[in-house]
Amino acid sequence: MAVAVEQVAIAVKVSGDIVIARQAGHELAADLGFTLTDRTMISTAISEIARNITSYAGSGEIRLLVDLREGRRALVVQAEDQGPGIRDIPRALEDGYSTGRGLGLGLPGARRLMDRLTIDSAPGRGTLIEMWKWVPDGA
């Protein structure tokens, strides 16, 4: 099944936007032939990183696209904000670490749910998180 997706962008400013981004990811994953379990993992990972945008940066954007990663088709999720940035990326990826009031499950949880997760961030210049899940064979 060929799915024509250029890029879907969802502005994230309030908690309702998290739901919109989650649903958009779930629908795209369904169109691409992901199993229900994978669709749930993808939408949960989107929720986690979108929640980080509202909690730490105030606003940002979630982008969904289908693109090649490491030579394979992938459903790619990009979360970008112009917030304070992440001072210590390895620490932010540790279970239980949080600079806010959260449980510290957001980034490490999203990383476990997806096939890959990368972070480009520095204090004072915002954050770009990219994560992806390989598109099932035959889709």
Domain ranges of the chain: 8-134
Amino acid identity of residue 38, one-letter, is: D
133 beta partners? 75
Q: With contact defined as beta carbons under 8 Å apart, do 79 and 50 qualify? A: yes
pLDDT of amino acid 101: 52
Residue 47, φ and ψ in degrees, nearest 5 = -60, -45
Cα distance between the two ends of the chain = 5
pTM to 2 decimal places: 0.90
What is the CATH code for 8-134? 3.30.565.10
pLDDT of amino acid 95: 75
pLDDT of amino acid 138: 73
Beta strands in 1-139 (DSSP E): 8-12, 60-69, 72-81, 116-121, 127-134
pLDDT of the chain, 139 residues: tens digit per residue: 445 567 999 999 999 999 999 999 999 999 999 999 999 999 999 999 999 999 989 999 999 999 999 999 999 999 999 999 998 898 888 877 665 554 446 899 899 999 999 999 989 999 999 999 999 987 6
